[in-house]
Amino acid sequence: MIEILAASLLVMFASLAGVFSLWQRAEKIIERNLDFLISFSAGVFVVIVYRLSVETIEHAGQAVLGFTWILIGALFIWTVFKLLPALHMHAETVETRINPRRILVSDSIHNIGDGVLLAATFSVSVALGVVTTASILIHEVLQEISEFFILRKGGYTPQKALSLNFFTSSSILVGSVGGFFFLELFEYLESPLLGFAAGALLVVVLTDLIPHSIGGSYERLHYVKHILLFLIGVSLMLAVSVFITH
C-alpha cells in the first residue's frame, strides 16, 4: 500500500512541478502564443485518445465491446455538458470556443484508470510497479502541460489553472487506493474507465480543440504555425507512447 501511495503522490507532484516550472520560465511566451499552443495540445490529446482506444479494445477482449465503451463515454460527456447549463463557462469565456471543464472531467477519468494500473502492477511486483510509475509520470507531465494551456485559454488565471491541474491529477488516488482494496472489481472496471476516458477526450478534441485551431488559422492566416504545433504535439506524444509504454 505504501508503494502505491508513494507512486501516486510522485506522479501528482511531479506533474505539478513540471507545469509550474514551465510557466515560471516561459510565462510571456506562453501568454503570447496560447492560440498556437492549443494546436499543440490538440496533437497531444489526439494521440492520447488513440492510445486509450487501443487499450480499451485490448482490455475488453472484443472490438465491438471496446468501441461501445468509447461511444458511451463520448455520448455521456456530450450529453452532460448539453443538458446541464451550470457546467458551461460564463459569457466572458464563450469567445474562446473552448469549454475547459470538459477536459477536467475527461482527464480525471483517465487518471483514475492510471491509478488502477498502478495498483495492479504493484500487486504483481515492486519492480513492475516502478516501471509503470515512470511510464505514467512521463506521459502525465506532457499531458498536464497541454491541459494547462487549455485551461489558460479557457479563461482561468494561472493560479486557478495550476490548482485545477493538481486537482485532476489527484484523481489518480481514487484508482490506486480503490484498486488496492478492491483490485478484482477495479480490474473489471478498467475497460469501461479507459473507454469512458477515450470517448470523453474525443469529444474535447473534436468539439473544442480542433475547431479552435481551425478558427484561429482562418482568422489570422496562420495555417503553417497551427499545423506545425499540432504535428509537434502528435510527435512528442507518439514518442512517449512508443518508447515508454504502460
pTM for this prediction:
0.78
DSSP code at position 61 = S
- Give the number of other CB atoms < 10 A from CB of residue 10: 14
pLDDT confidence tier of residue 245, bands split at 50, 70 and 90 = low
Residue 197 has pLDDT above 80, yes or no: yes
Please tell me which residue, 9 or 139, carries the higher pLDDT value. Answer: 9
Q: What is the mean pLDDT of residues 72-101?
A: 65
Please tell me which residue, 170 or 181, carries the higher pLDDT value. Answer: 170
Q: How confident is the model at residue 86, as a pLDDT?
A: 46
Please state the separation of Cα 18 from the chain's center in Å: 15
pLDDT confidence tier of residue 87, bands split at 50, 70 and 90 = very low
Q: How confident is the model at residue 67, as a pLDDT?
A: 93
pLDDT confidence tier of residue 217, bands split at 50, 70 and 90 = low
- Give the number of other CB atoms < 10 A from CB of residue 50: 16
Q: How confident is the model at residue 85, as a pLDDT?
A: 54
Residue 179 has pLDDT above 70, yes or no: yes
Q: What is the mean pLDDT of residues 188-201?
A: 84
List, in sequence order, the alpha helices (H) in the chain. Answer: 2-32, 34-60, 63-83, 100-124, 126-153, 158-169, 172-181, 183-204, 210-220, 223-243
Q: How confident is the model at residue 101, as a pLDDT?
A: 82
